[in-house]
Amino acid sequence: MLNKVLIIYTGGTIGMVQDENGSLQPFAMDRIFDAVPQLKYCTYDIESCQLQDIIDSSNMTPTFWADIADIIEKEYNNYDGFVVLHGTDTMAYTASALSFMFKNLTKPIVLTGSQLPLSMLRSDGRENIICALEIASCKEVCIPEVCIFFENHLYRGNRSTKVSAENFDAFESYNYPSLAKAGIEIIYKKHLILPMPTNPLRVRKQFDTRVAVLKLFPGITREVVLSVLNTPNLQGVVIETYGSGNAPTEAWFIDALDDAIQRGILVMNVTQCKAGSVKMRQYAASCDMDRIGVVSGHDITMEAAITKMMYLLGAYPNDKAHVHQRLEESIRGEISGR
């Protein structure tokens, strides 16, 4: 029996055409098959569907994440793998969110897109779609993970970051190696892939969006910090700190964080550096944050940190202590060595 893959089209550059003003606008799925005639020669079955609204991924929201998850959950037993066509701008957020939503995943969910629309001669989209489909349909190596395939590399989704608005190799995974590399053959690095789970799939689709990201910079004022921390109903904040998790040691800053934590707001420390990890207490400049109960994000990406926080707050709305504990742990391979 041939393996079967479902393509879920959500929008993004890959399926866009120019409107009369020259701006790129999303268009309908059937044109994608016209643009990749090679799909006729695949040795697996492909079916496709699309979200009700086709979007530029800068319009992505947790409601769309739930829509994508609904389709996959409904069709889970009918396909061997799933390919999600998605805009590159927020692909790393969606891949992270889906990874948290699907616990005990036993089938690949591969997100891909392109920097140039399929309608253009030099589009990178054809290669990306064909490789993503090959990986999602592979009988020999089944990857039970949410991944991003882009420009010859398969990355763990919740480790990925968009790094270029220009180059075809638009994604990187700085703190975890790629899971596979496409050359003449697709080489899978089996030892890096998450083990096949034995427990049944569980899908959770609630996200709590009462969160914020606060990026530090030299000269940041008390007013800016307080305006974020005093946001009405705020439940959690990811602070983007310097280096190995360092931040100002001035009393007004630590007191502001301490006050937020006392009010039940979760504060998570994630580094602005693309590679490497938060190491609380390595420098005196992070000791106070550790003392007052700031959560270490270790080597998590910002995209995974904010989606994980929204996911855990949505999944455990009345248990901040549990959310705090899970934020420190790796729940889907998003943090190294935890």
Catalytic residues: 13
> CB of 117: closest distance to ligand ASP in angstroms?
9
Residue 89 binds ligand ASP, judged by CB under 6 A? yes
Q: Is 230 helix (H, G, I), strand (E, B) or coil?
A: coil
> Tokens standing for 146?
């949410």
Residue 18 binds ligand ASP, judged by CB under 6 A? no
User: Looking at beta carbons only, is 92 or 267 nearer to ligand ASP?
Assistant: 92
User: Looking at beta carbons only, is 162 or 205 nearer to ligand ASP?
Assistant: 162
Cα–Cα dist 269/95, whole Å: 21
Residue 333 binds ligand ASP, judged by CB under 6 A? no
Residue 113 binds ligand ASP, judged by CB under 6 A? yes
- Count of CB atoms within 10 A of residue 338's CB? 13
Residue 164 binds ligand ASP, judged by CB under 6 A? no
Residue matched to tokens 């003003």 = 21
> According to CB under 6 A, which one of 3, 88, 160, 269 is a site residue for ligand ASP?
88
User: Looking at beta carbons only, is 11 or 297 nearer to ligand ASP?
Assistant: 11
Report 68-87 residues binding ligand ASP (CB under 6 A): 87
Contact (CB, 8 A) for 301 and 309: no
Closest to 106 (Cα-Cα) out of 134, 77, 86: 77
- Helix%, strand%, coil% for the chain, nearest 5: 35, 25, 45
Residue 94 binds ligand ASP, judged by CB under 6 A? no
Cα–Cα dist 127/179, whole Å: 18
* φ/ψ of residue 66, rounded to 5: -65, -35
> CB of 299: closest distance to ligand ASP in angstroms?
25
Cα–Cα dist 44/40, whole Å: 10
Site map (CB under 6 A) of ligand ASP, residues 31-70, x = contact? -------------------------xxx------------
User: Looking at beta carbons only, is 13 or 175 nearer to ligand ASP?
Assistant: 13
Q: For the purposes of burial, counting CB atoms within 10 Å of the CB of 76, is it exposed (0-12), middle (13-18) or buried (19 or more)? A: middle
Residue 157 binds ligand ASP, judged by CB under 6 A? no
Residue 15 binds ligand ASP, judged by CB under 6 A? no
User: Looking at beta carbons only, is 113 or 236 nearer to ligand ASP?
Assistant: 113
Cα–Cα dist 261/16, whole Å: 45
- The residue ranges that bind ligand ASP (CB under 6 A) are 11-13, 56-58, 87-89, 113, 115
